[in-house]
A and B are shown apart, each in its own frame.
Chain A
Amino acid sequence: MDFTIRPSKPEDCKDITRLIMELAEYEKMPDQVKISHEELKRDGFCQNPFYQCLIAEVPERHKTKDGHVKVGFALFFYTYSTWKGRCVYLEDLYVMPELRGKGIGKALMSSVAKVGKEQHCARMQLAVLDWNTPSMDFYMAKGAQDLTQSEGWHFLRFDGAALDKLAEEAPKN
């Protein structure tokens, strides 16, 4: 099937929000999505963007049953390893179910890797839910290592009241 992968534009933010919600539903956490398309637009297209996004688009004749031509996305940003230097982090990778099995997910992921290599990134990192076997298998087949399993890395997070409290305790100098 014909499809194109291209960088997102401000007008794509409504579709990206839709696709983000679909992915969150798949991950069984739709109530966690608080972001709006206005926020996405502001943060992706400002002076120092917080993220970059690639969109997978199909021609009009292959649009989905709901009439969408924007059928997948990859959202990523640059991070830094104090051991290896520049890295790229793949925050989201998603293809609508009816367009799967056609190489779109693989093309999106490869495109992110390519952009990362052009920016001299030594690593691409991402997170996967432990029960999400199809995704785990997909990434492992591409050569990803599970660092939680092999090295014992855990993600930790401060948010809400705990984050506010921590910030209040910062020295005043």
Chain B
Amino acid sequence: MDFTIHAATLEDCKDISRMILELAEYEKVSDQVKITQRDLEQDGFSKNPFYHGIIAEVPEQHKSKDGHTKVGYSLYFYTYSSWKGRAVYMEDLYVMPEYRGKGIGKALMSKVAQLGLAAGCTQLNFAVLDWNKPSLDFYLSQGCFDVTADLGYHCMRCEGESLEKLAQGDS
């Protein structure tokens, strides 16, 4: 199937917002999504954007049953390893279920890798839930390694009240 990948524009934020919700539903946490289309517009298209996006689009004749031609996306940003320097982090990778198995997910991920290398990055990092076997298998088959399983790194988070207390110096 024909598809193209383009850099996300402001107008794409509506579709990105829709697909973020679809991905959250797949990960069984759609009640966790607090971000709005407006947040995406402000944070992705300001002077110092917090993220970058790429969109996979199909021609009109292959639009989805709900009429969408924007059928996949990847959202990424630049990070820093104090050991290796510039790195790219792929926050989301998603393709609508009816478009899977056609190389779109792989193409999106490859594009992020290509953009990362062009920006001087030596790593492409991302996170996967351990029960998400189809995704884990896909990524491992592409040649990545599991930093948590192999090196023992755990992802930690402070938010809500703990973050407030920490910021006030009270914890």
Contact = CB atoms under 8 A, between A and B. Distances in A.
A33 B116 CA distance: 20
Contacts of B34: 83-85, 122
A82 to B, nearest CB: 5
Contact of A149 (B126, B146, B154): B154
Given A79-B91, A86-B43, A139-B156, A155 B107 contact: no
A38 to B, nearest CB: 11
Contacts of A155: 125-127, 146-148, 153, 155
Interface in B133-147: 136, 139-140, 142-147
B164 A156 contact: no
Nearest to B35: A85
Contacts of B100: none
Interface in A128-172: 128-131, 136, 139, 141-149, 151-159, 161-171
- Identify whether the interface residues of B are mostly helix, strand, loop, or mixed: mixed
Given A154-B127, A162-B144, A166-B113, A79 B163 contact: no
Nearest to B161: A143
Contacts of B142: 158, 162, 166
Contact of B113 (A75, A161, A163): A163
Interface in B150-164: 151-159, 161-164
Contact of A159 (B33, B122, B126, B148): B122
Contact of B124 (A78, A143, A158, A171): A158
Contacts of B131: 152
Interface residues of B, number: 78
B84 interface: yes
Contact of A143 (B35, B77, B149, B162): B162
Contact of A144 (B24, B50, B124, B162): B162
B26 interface: no
Nearest to A84: B34
B85 A158 contact: no
A156 B111 contact: no
Nearest to A31: B83
B166 A124 contact: yes
A157 B82 contact: no
15 contacts: A20-B82, A75-B82, A83-B35, A106-B171, A113-B167, A127-B154, A141-B171, A146-B154, A154-B127, A154-B148, A156-B144, A156-B145, A166-B143, A168-B110, A170-B113
